[in-house]
Amino acid sequence: MALARALFGAPKILFLDEPNAHLDASGETRLMATLRTLKEAGATVVVSTHRTGLLQAVDKILLLRDGKVQMFGPKDELTRPRPAGVEDASVPSGRQTEDVPGISNDSDAPKAEGVQQ
């Protein structure tokens, strides 16, 4: 019901916090179809999730660990299998925050305008 309310009026930006938390497989499939429809309509959808099944419907991933940005980038880049011989499996392959302009884990770094940390 909350998602239906959020979609009323065809929003251009939508923030969804754990939208698939209590969904079964059928509900998650419908949610992903809804996200694709929103994308086709030109909407921007920001999703927070712990369940990785929803990642099929996203373009970019922002990985937070202990409240700090660990990685940010295109889904295909961040979910690419790690090369053989890479030992640290605790961090997915992809761009480290040091490689991403404008993202810093330094607590003394200035905040981006309009963004709360």
Looking at residue 11, its pLDDT comes to 83
User: Residue 87's pLDDT is what?
Assistant: 53
pLDDT digits (tens, 9 = 90+) for 30-43: 999 988 888 899 99
pLDDT at 44: 92
Q: What is the pLDDT of residue 53?
A: 82
Predicted pLDDT at 89 = 47
* Pairing status of strand 13-17 against strand 44-48: parallel
Helical ranges in the chain per DSSP H: 2-7, 25-40, 75-78
How far is Cα 29 from Cα 35, in angstroms, rounded to an integer? Answer: 10
Q: pLDDT below 50 — which residues of the chain? A: 89, 92, 97, 102, 107-117
Distance from chain centroid for Cα 26: 21
